[in-house]
């Protein structure tokens, strides 16, 4: 029973009234921003980072995690009622959810989504409970070369999978790595890229970058995007789905849980991709695929289950390897660093209260969400009526004043605004800010492990390939980096051949 | 500018549910048609050149820090490697995206709103240490609501005052933070 002692202690941590309160706050904020189109979970967590300075690290992470998975719930509501996905991860829910709403079954769609999300989240937490310690104990033997390879693969996967142009995402990631080198060199103390500026000597803090790129960047972007009309939501009645609907969706929920769990673990995977894959799987498996898009309950149940399962399981690489799997996890990584906690394989053994506290808070959070989401739907629909014109300056002020309170420094606020402009421009020019922030967070870890490895290997780069784990990871790295290029080159050649053949004939 | 009224008019008719039936493919196509056009070849050229510039500047500075060898890395080793990668990738993007890809978004007349928003934020950063946060915050709220958001004079004034009062109550009276304030 040794294994379960810390797990049970973790429940003690969550049931502490303060933690419960913050968990509740987190999930409610998460649902709210999930409902409001515009700010995503990454932006909200970034904006609220200053709030976490004053509180206990466990409490802080419990709240931030709550925002993350709460947003998955909230995004569903607008997808179903308004045909407006509040989050990228609920885009596919629109296809059948909105049609169901039009058929007067909005309540069924929301109810099934809430139940599916709860089951998916719970399955993923159970998976996390058993898998995380295994991964962590495996990773305890990792040395600098393994960490170098792991960080490289993590950054590359996030950059190549996150959508948009791959080269641009890679440039963004590389710029993130470069920004991480600003300041004093840890090994020699030499100042790099500081241009004699004292404020830069300690390096650029993670918080202004995240708050700027995600927070102000999205606020500025929304200023120009806001002209989209919002229509009035459908009436919601009868939230509890019928037994027939439940029976129809049970398979989809089961498959969605497993699928979401595994896709969530992969770097660059996560909620959005798993919801899309789940929709595709359900459509393919259905006896009559033509029902999809015309109000198939499975088309809501599967993706909604999968995105919640993935949101939960994406904590595994962060909490066991110290490698964030997506942009939101990168911000939570940053929040942990602020509190002096470096996530990694030693986290479970050195800080079991934090680890199990956070994991178990997800059980509680999911129950809270299930209880809250159904009665609160009406309230959230009302919130949709708050005009973006009034919300925008409020979020901007929260960001600016929040950024100031971190270190009482106007320089930080200026950085936030400047990075905000950069975030906006990156979006306009097709560069994803996610890979930049992720690479920035991992930058120091990557450089110091690379330099340490080179010292250990005495400058012999081939040493990376003689260690089995780092060699495997580097092979994956090369496959991910070069694979798509070869594939597209082959496809192009094939196309040329076929055109030549048809021209000859 | 009349978003509010449009919205209410629509809610009166309660007729969202009467929107035409769309298959997922049609819906995706409709979204694609609504979204702004990609940024195009000129933007690609500019972005690639800026990125290449960052890479080249990084390499030059890194050279000054000392390149070192694999056996004895120096402060400039790692920045040089990354800067080199940035430069190579930027040049690759210059070629790959020369006809303009599907990514990014072209600037529209509405982009001025974002630029204007950025300038007001800078003004706030500049004014806050001088005259405290209240007046700049009030102005920021009012300008964003009235000119960027198209609220009426009355609601913009009312909500700005309420918002600033709430922030004053939370950050100054409640949390006692050291944000510079006037009153």
Q: Kindly report, residue by residue over A184-238, the tens digit of the pLDDT.
A: 888 888 888 888 788 788 888 888 899 999 889 988 988 887 545 455 566 666 6
Give the whole-angstrom CA distance, residue B35 versus residue B104. 11
Q: How far does the CA of residue B25 sit from the closest CA of chain A (Å)?
A: 9
What stretches in chain A show pLDDT beneath 50? 1, 227, 229, 505
Angle of helix A4-15 relative to helix A17-35, nearest 10 degrees, comes to: 80
The two three-digit tokens of residue A390, written as one number: 């009034």
Question: Burial, A196: exposed, middle or buried (Cβ in 10 Å; 0-12, 13-18, 19+)?
Answer: exposed
pLDDT band, residue B10 (cuts 50/70/90): very low
Interfacial A residues in 121-160 facing B (CB < 8 Å): none
Instruction: Give the per-residue pLDDT at A357.
Output: 87
Longest CA span, chain B: 74
The nearest alpha carbon in chain A to B37 belongs to A428
> Side-chain half-sphere of A10: how many Cα atoms within 13 Å?
22
Q: Of the ranges A372-386, B55-69, B161-175, which one carries the lowest mean pLDDT score?
A: A372-386
Place of tokens 């995380």: A132
Q: How far does the CA of residue B183 sit from the closest CA of chain A (Å)?
A: 16
Q: How far does the CA of residue A24 sit from the closest CA of chain B (Å)?
A: 20
The two three-digit tokens of residue A423, written as one number: 């975030």
Instruction: Give the per-residue pLDDT at B44.
Output: 86
Contact residues for A499 (Cβ-Cβ < 8 A; gap 6+) = none
Give the whole-angstrom CA distance, residue A263 versus residue A377. 29
Residues of A in contact with B89 (CB under 8 A): 167, 170-171, 174
> Contact at 8 Å (CB) between A315 and A365?
no
A contact test, residue of B17, B64, B132 with most A CBs within 10 A = B17
**SS3 string of A193-244?**
CCCCCHHHHCCCCHHHHHHHHHHHHHHHHHHHHCCCCCCCCCCCCCCCCCHH
Residues of B in contact with A400 (CB under 8 A): 121, 124-125, 128
Q: How far does the CA of residue A427 sit from the closest CA of chain B (Å)?
A: 6
Q: Of the ranges A48-52, B22-26, B106-110, which one carries the lowest mean pLDDT score?
A: B22-26
Q: How far does the CA of residue A344 sit from the closest CA of chain B (Å)?
A: 23
> Contact at 8 Å (CB) between A41 and A87?
yes
Partner-chain contact A228 B34, CB within 8 Å = yes
Instruction: Give the per-residue pLDDT at A252.
Output: 92
Q: How far does the CA of residue B33 sit from the closest CA of chain A (Å)?
A: 13
Please state the ipTM of this predicted complex. 0.84
The two three-digit tokens of residue A462, written as one number: 């081939």
Selecting from B77, B96, B128 the residue whose C-beta is nearest the C-beta of A410 gives B128
Give the whole-angstrom CA distance, residue A364 versus residue A19. 11
The nearest alpha carbon in chain B to A221 belongs to B114
Partner-chain contact A430 B39, CB within 8 Å = yes
Partner-chain contact A216 B101, CB within 8 Å = no
> Contact at 8 Å (CB) between A111 and A374?
yes
Strand extents, DSSP E, A157-306: 183-184, 191-192
B contact test, residue of A93, A95, A390 with most B CBs within 10 A = A390
Give the whole-angstrom CA distance, residue A104 versus residue A345. 50
Give the whole-angstrom CA distance, residue A206 versus residue A333. 10
* β A191-192/A183-184 pair status: antiparallel
**Chain centroid offset of residue A286 CA:** 30
Q: Provide the residue count of chain B.
A: 183
Q: Give the number of A-B residue pairs with CB atoms closer than 8 Å.
A: 219
B contact test, residue of A216, A397, A446, A462 with most B CBs within 10 A = A397
Partner-chain contact B125 A414, CB within 8 Å = yes
Instruction: Give the per-residue pLDDT at B150.
Output: 82
Instruction: Give the per-residue pLDDT at A150.
Output: 87
Selecting from B14, B69, B82 the residue whose C-beta is nearest the C-beta of A232 gives B14
> Contact at 8 Å (CB) between A378 and A133?
no
Instruction: Give the per-residue pLDDT at A137.
Output: 87
A187 contacts chain B (CB < 8 A): yes
């Amino acid at each position: 029973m040794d294994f379960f002692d810390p797990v049970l202690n973790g429940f003690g941590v969550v049931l502490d009234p303060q933690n419960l309160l913050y968990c509740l706050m987190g999930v409610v904020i998460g649902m709210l921003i999930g409902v409001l189109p515009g700010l995503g979970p990454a932006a909200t967590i970034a904006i609220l980072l200053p709030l976490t300075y004053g509180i206990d690290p466990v409490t802080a992470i419990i709240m931030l995690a709550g925002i993350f998975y709460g947003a998955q719930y909230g995004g569903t509501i607008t997808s179903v009622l308004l045909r407006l996905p509040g989050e990228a991860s609920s885009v596919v829910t629109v296809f059948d959810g909105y049609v169901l709403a039009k058929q007067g079954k909005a309540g069924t769609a929301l109810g099934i989504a809430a139940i599916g999300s709860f089951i998916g989240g719970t399955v993923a937490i159970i998976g996390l409970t058993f898998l995380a310690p295994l991964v962590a104990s495996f990773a305890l033997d990792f040395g600098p070369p393994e960490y170098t390879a792991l960080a490289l693969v993590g950054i590359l996967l996030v950059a190549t999978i996150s959508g948009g142009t791959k080269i641009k995402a890679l440039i963004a990631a590389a710029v993130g790595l470069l920004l991480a080198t600003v300041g004093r060199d840890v090994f020699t103390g030499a100042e790099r890229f500081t241009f004699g500026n004292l404020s830069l000597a300690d390096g650029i803090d993670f918080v202004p970058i995240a708050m700027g790129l995600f927070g102000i960047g999205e606020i500025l972007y929304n200023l120009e995007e806001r002209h989209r009309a919002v229509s009035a939501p459908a009436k919601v009645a009868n939230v509890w789905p019928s037994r027939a609907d439940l029976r129809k969706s049970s398979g989809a929920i089961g498959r969605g849980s497993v699928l979401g769990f595994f896709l969530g673990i992969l770097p660059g995977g996560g909620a959005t991709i798993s919801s899309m894959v789940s929709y595709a799987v359900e459509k393919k498996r259905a006896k009559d695929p033509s029902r999809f898009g015309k109000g198939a309950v499975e088309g809501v149940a599967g993706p909604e289950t999968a995105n919640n399962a993935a949101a939960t399981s994406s904590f595994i690489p962060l909490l066991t390897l110290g490698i964030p799997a997506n942009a939101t996890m990168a911000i939570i990584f940053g929040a942990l660093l602020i509190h002096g906690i470096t996530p990694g394989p030693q986290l479970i053994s050195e800080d079991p209260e934090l680890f199990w506290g956070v994991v178990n808070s997800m059980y509680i959070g999911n129950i809270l969400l299930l209880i809250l989401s159904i009665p609160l739907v009406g309230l959230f629909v009302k919130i949709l009526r708050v005009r973006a014109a009034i919300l925008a300056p409020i979020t901007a002020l929260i960001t600016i004043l929040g950024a100031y309170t971190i270190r009482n420094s106007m320089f930080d606020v200026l950085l936030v605004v400047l990075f905000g402009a950069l975030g906006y421009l990156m979006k306009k020019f097709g560069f994803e800010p996610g890979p930049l922030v992720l690479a920035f967070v991992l930058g120091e870890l990557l450089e110091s492990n690379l330099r340490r490895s080179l010292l250990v290997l005495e400058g012999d780069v081939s040493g990376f390939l003689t260690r089995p784990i780092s060699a495997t990871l580097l092979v994956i790295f090369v496959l991910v980096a070069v694979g798509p290029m070869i594939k597209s080159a082959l496809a192009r050649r094939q196309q040329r051949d076929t055109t030549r053949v048809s021209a000859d004939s | 500018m009349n978003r509010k009224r449009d919205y209410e008019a629509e809610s009166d008719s309660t007729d969202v549910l009467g929107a035409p039936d769309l298959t997922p493919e049609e819906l995706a196509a409709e979204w694609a048609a609504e979204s702004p056009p990609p940024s195009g070849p000129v933007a690609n050229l500019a972005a690639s050149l800026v990125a290449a510039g960052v890479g080249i500047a990084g390499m030059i500075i890194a050279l000054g820090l000392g390149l070192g060898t694999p056996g004895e890395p120096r402060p400039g080793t790692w920045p040089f490697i990354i800067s080199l990668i940035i430069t190579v990738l930027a040049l690759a993007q210059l070629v790959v995206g020369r006809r303009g890809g599907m990514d990014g978004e072209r600037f529209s007349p509405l982009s001025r709103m974002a630029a204007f928003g950025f300038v007001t934020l800078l003004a706030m950063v500049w004014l806050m240490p001088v005259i405290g946060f209240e007046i700049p915050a009030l102005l920021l709220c009012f300008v964003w609501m009235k000119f960027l958001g198209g609220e009426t004079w009355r609601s913009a004034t009312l909500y700005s005052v309420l918002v600033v009062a709430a922030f004053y109550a939370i950050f100054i009276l409640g949390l006692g933070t050291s944000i510079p304030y006037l009153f």
